[in-house]
Amino acid sequence: MSGSIRGSIVALVTPMRADGSLDLAAFDRLIDWHVESGTHAVVVAGTTGESATLSVQEHCDLVAHCVKVTGNRIPVIAGTGSNNTEEALYFTESARQHGADACLLVTPYYNKPSQEGLYQHFKAVAERVDIPQILYNVPGRTACDLSLETVEKLANLDNIVGIKDATGDSPRGLRLIQRCGKRLAIYSGEDAITLPLMEGGADGTISVTANVAPELMAEMCSLALSGDNENARKINKKLDLLHSNLFLEGNPIPVKWALRQMGLIETGIRLPLVELGAKYHIQVIKALKQAGIALSGAV
């Protein structure tokens, strides 16, 4: 899609202190690191950013802070989805007012709406808030699957510009590209199948792996977008353990633990999530080492 955000988009963690309070100084350092590393855009207050346990005020303030700190160096995509349409409208309008470049809206979770309900939900937000909007389909978390037919209908709405496909189904992702790729930007939402989807025409990825390997992810995506799949595959091979081992427990548990081992954030995650189980530590360390990532010890 002409003019769309392309490449490696980090689904950024929200750094926290041991007491669960937000660590904005660490957040600012992460933003600077991503800009310097070539990350193409950032998602703030998404799933990896623990949006589920941010208060409404924290959510809106964090988006505003991200826009300010990023300072137009790279685009900011605000997570603004909800299973309450009025709340999604509130978050999306707040993100617009604070200067976000686009919004990422997850399918309404838990409620189990019909396809018509999903269509009306996204249509309401698209028609009432004038900001580019990216659909987010992750049925493994939401118990709700946005069908290809509904995506095609939503692609006719002016403000809907893309979709993050986190079904983990590569053949389905390729069908999505074939049917909607000329009207929507298609982003992989599963790191393990990002490269196959990009080889099939996807515009990029909204990535968890990019939190710990921003330079490699940005380079891999740039190579794939340029058609240099051979060298993109060489980089992806270094990242393949991260793509799997950062999901040994629920995201963002492993990636926050990894960032702590890299010395980039403190220990801090909000209940009901807890620290990564000790039995997984060796596997995450192995994945970091395979990618050539330096460990500087826990903060």
pLDDT tens digits, one per residue of 113-165: 999 999 999 999 999 999 999 999 999 999 999 999 999 999 999 999 999 99
Query: Which has more pLDDT, 298 or 134?
Result: 134
pLDDT tens digits, one per residue of 248-296: 999 999 999 999 999 999 999 999 999 999 999 999 999 999 999 999 8
- What does the mean pLDDT of the chain come to? 97
pLDDT tens digits, one per residue of 63-78: 999 999 999 999 999 9
| Separation of alpha carbons 76 and 85, rounded Å | 22
If you compute the radius of gyration of the chain from its CA atoms, what whole number of angstroms results?
A: 18
- The answer to whether 123 and 154 have CB atoms below 8 angstroms apart is yes
pLDDT at 1: 38
| Mean pLDDT, residues 82-88 taken together | 98
| Separation of alpha carbons 67 and 56, rounded Å | 17
**pLDDT class for 299, splitting at 50, 70, 90?**
very low
Give helix then strand counts, H and E, for the chain: 12, 8
37 three-class SS: helix
Whether pLDDT at 85 is above 70: yes
Across the chain, where does the E strand assignment appear? Answer: 7-11, 41-44, 76-79, 102-106, 133-137, 160-165, 185-188, 204-207
**pLDDT class for 209, splitting at 50, 70, 90?**
very high
What residues are annotated to the active site? Answer: 136, 164
Whether pLDDT at 2 is above 70: no
Does the predicted model carry a pTM greater than 0.95?
yes
pLDDT at 4: 83
Whether pLDDT at 105 is above 80: yes
